[in-house]
Amino acid sequence: MSIDLMFQMPNPVKITGRSSSITNAFVNGIIPCIMPKQEEINEVLRILDMEGDAKCAYCRNPHTEWDHFRPLIMKKRPTGYISEIHNLVPACGKCNQSKGNKHWKTWIISDAKLSPKTRGIANLDRIIQSLEKYEAWSNPTMIDFEELVGRKLWEDHWKNCERLHQLMQESQILSDQIKNKIAQGIVKKERGKVVAPPLDPTKVSENNKLKIGIIAQTQLRAVLESNRISEDVIQLLQTNNYSKRTFNLNFPVLKAIDHSQNLINQKSDGKGYSRYYKKPITINSATYLLCSQWYEKDREYLVRWIKSIHKDSAGS
């Protein structure tokens, strides 16, 4: 057997790969769960043509769980449905995983991976008919959560969710830096001991002689336009929190250009003061404005960030 067939590396784990789990937790954590009565469960099974023998409502294989027939989450926000017998059908893991938050009928006859059609499930027309009967029978609860709990409480909940996503993005950047440094340290071995390779001299040693605005318009611009910065970091550079914490700026480092709007207006803040350089910056075919609000007292923040990019690039 070929070594390629015998060996497979585990899938690498990314912190940001758990983003959907965080969103799901913030939705499911507030969704009421109403326990059904036995007669209600029996009624659902009867409607689905599986009286006394619960099976997956979508493929008729043995069921492992009960699936939300109508999705609880759409566009990262609650739909208003809750966990109740009027919105739950027995399902197997394959169908539940494949269906996700898609509409059941669109999905069941789609070519999606693990869908009943893709898996060649028999009697699909009959299965669809039983699901249509369930859909017509059920009268699910629909709640306007924001109206019920009040705007402030609702907005505070989602601000917490966004803070966690932001922290995950920042943690991913730090994780990548640590991973790269560890990789650098094991490229060379001597007598069974790991020897870390020497770092290349920094390319920004002359920064003490330059004004910070010049560094931003030359070296920072060059680093950003080199397309060596990950998309996650580009997203963070467009946020107030990251820009303040990393560069001590009061405005995002980057501002995406809206080509349908006046460019001069986009350079200014709400009071009409210009906060961005006139010359656009291009990163991976997208155009941005670069913040112009740099002060000498914050030189170390900018120089340190540029140095970190050069070091990571030298070690990659």
- Taking the C-alpha atoms of residue 21 and residue 29, their distance in angstroms, rounded to an integer, is 12
- Amino acid 75: pLDDT: 86
- Taking the C-alpha atoms of residue 198 and residue 69, their distance in angstroms, rounded to an integer, is 58
How do the domains of the chain map onto residue ranges?
Answer: 13-143, 203-315
- Amino acid 9: pLDDT: 61
Q: What angle do CA 219, 224, 229 make, to 5 degrees?
A: 130
Question: What 3-state DSSP class applies to 10?
Answer: coil
- Amino acid 15: pLDDT: 84
Per-residue pLDDT of the chain (316 residues; tens, 9 = 90+): 444 455 566 777 788 888 888 999 999 999 999 999 999 999 999 999 987 789 999 999 999 999 999 999 998 899 999 999 999 999 999 999 999 989 999 999 999 999 999 999 999 999 999 999 999 999 999 999 999 999 999 999 999 998 998 888 888 888 877 877 777 666 544 445 444 444 333 444 455 668 899 899 988 998 898 878 888 899 999 999 999 999 999 999 999 998 888 888 899 988 888 999 988 998 888 899 999 999 999 899 999 898 888 766 655 5
> What stretches of the chain show up as alpha helix (H) in DSSP?
3-6, 19-28, 38-47, 93-99, 104-108, 124-137, 145-149, 151-185, 212-215, 221-225, 231-236, 240-247, 263-266, 299-315
> 184: Cβ–Cβ under 8 A, 6 or more apart, which residues?
196, 197, 315
Q: 284 is written with which tokens?
A: 């991976």
- Amino acid 41: pLDDT: 93
Encode burial over 212-232: b for 16+ CB neighbours within 10 A, e otherwise: beebbbebbbebbeeeebeeb
Residue whose token pair is 């699901």: 131
What is the pTM assigned to this prediction? 0.56
Q: Please, which contacts does 215-218 make with residues 24 or more away whose CB atoms are closer than 8 Å?
A: 215/294, 215/299, 215/302, 215/303, 215/306, 216/290, 216/291, 216/292, 216/294, 216/302, 217/277, 217/290
Closest Cα partner for 142 from 70, 90, 210, 196? 70
Amino acid in the structure at residue 262: N
Closest Cα partner for 104 from 116, 122, 118? 116
- Taking the C-alpha atoms of residue 130 and residue 204, their distance in angstroms, rounded to an integer, is 69
Q: 19-28 and 151-185 are packed helices; what angle lies between their axes, rounded to 10 degrees?
A: 160
- Taking the C-alpha atoms of residue 225 and residue 85, their distance in angstroms, rounded to an integer, is 54
Q: 251 is written with which tokens?
A: 């405005």
- Taking the C-alpha atoms of residue 288 and residue 174, their distance in angstroms, rounded to an integer, is 24
- Amino acid 176: pLDDT: 77
- Taking the C-alpha atoms of residue 112 and residue 133, their distance in angstroms, rounded to an integer, is 24
Amino acid in the structure at residue 314: A
- Amino acid 168: pLDDT: 87
Find out whether 216 and 141 touch, Cβ atoms under 8 Å.
Answer: no
Find out whether 33 and 82 touch, Cβ atoms under 8 Å.
Answer: yes
